[in-house]
Amino acid sequence: MSAPQGTESEIGLLDQARGGNCFAFEEIVRRYQRRVYATAYRIVRRHEVADDVAQEAFIRAFRSLDRYDPQRPFGPWICRIAANLAVNHVRSPQAREEALPDGHAETPSAAPGPLQGVLETEARTMLDRALEDLPAEQRAVFCLRVFEDLSYKEIADSLGISIGTVMSRLSRAREKLRGALSPYLAAAPGRAGSSPP
């Protein structure tokens, strides 16, 4: 197991990496690669593209370490870089020509029982497909807010938009997701009356 994120050892690793120590940065990559990949995947929806985005995010982060503020958490910073790259990819002509794969739910966590596992897998699959149908800009805002827990200001700074635009895109994304998931929410036992993320 690695040392807890945000510890002195991590700050030390970042200091070493800033001085050009590639081995120190490799350890940072090891600690954050799954989180960065997950951020990219939620936006681009393709495994191989998410891999490329994650790698490029770490390359850019390494080159920009002199601009990184060590008083701020590293995780949100690197995830914002990945999100920007992911959004740029989705906006690109190349991405428009690529066929989107069928929705694949992320591997669910261990469930208490078989029935609950089926329900959780079904819910994840439906959410995955609903996210896929969102415009890239709305999907990026939603993922950064819900999965990365970034503030409106952090999202605005990251994507180069106003806080009002963040709120508007987030509201539209939630409305679309609510509409897409409403049949499931109405039919699933014990879920009526609950609201999607």
Please give the CATH topology (third level) of the domain spanning 1-101: Rna Polymerase Sigma Factor; Chain: A (1.10.1740)
pLDDT per residue over 58-95, tens digit each?
Answer: 999 999 999 888 888 898 889 989 988 998 888 776 65
Measure Cα distances from 127 to 82, 166, 184 in Å.
21, 21, 10
pLDDT at 150: 85
Burial class (CB in 10 A: 0-12, 13-18, 19+), 148: buried
Across 190-194, average pLDDT? 45
Joined together, the tokens standing for residue 147 give 């999965």
Q: What does the mean pLDDT of the chain come to?
A: 79
Using alpha carbons, select from 87, 76, 88, 49 the residue that is nearest to residue 145: 76
Whole-angstrom Cα distance, residue 81 to residue 53? Answer: 9
CB 53 within 8 A of CB 82: yes
Under a CB-based contact definition with an 8 Å cutoff, are residues 47 and 128 in contact? Answer: no
pTM of the model as a whole: 0.68
**Band (127; pLDDT cuts 50, 70, 90):** confident
* pLDDT greater at residue 81 or residue 9: 81
Amino acid identity, position 49: V
Contacts 24+ apart (CB under 8 A), 66-75: 66/18, 68/14, 68/18, 70/11, 70/14, 70/15, 73/5, 73/6, 74/5, 74/6, 74/10, 74/14, 74/28, 74/32, 75/5, 75/32, 75/35
For residues 162-171, give the mean pLDDT. 94
Q: What is the pLDDT of residue 193?
A: 43
The whole-number pLDDT of residue 117 equals: 56
Q: Residue 164 — pLDDT band, cuts 50, 70, 90?
A: very high
The CATH number given to 102-197 is 1.10.10.10
Distance between CA atoms of 176 and 170, rounded to whole angstroms? 10
CA–CA separation, 79 vs 147, rounded Å?
Answer: 11
Instruction: Give the whole-angstrom CA distance, residue 150 versus residue 138.
Output: 15
Q: Give the domain ranges of the chain.
A: 1-101, 102-197
pLDDT bracket for residue 154 (50, 70, 90): confident
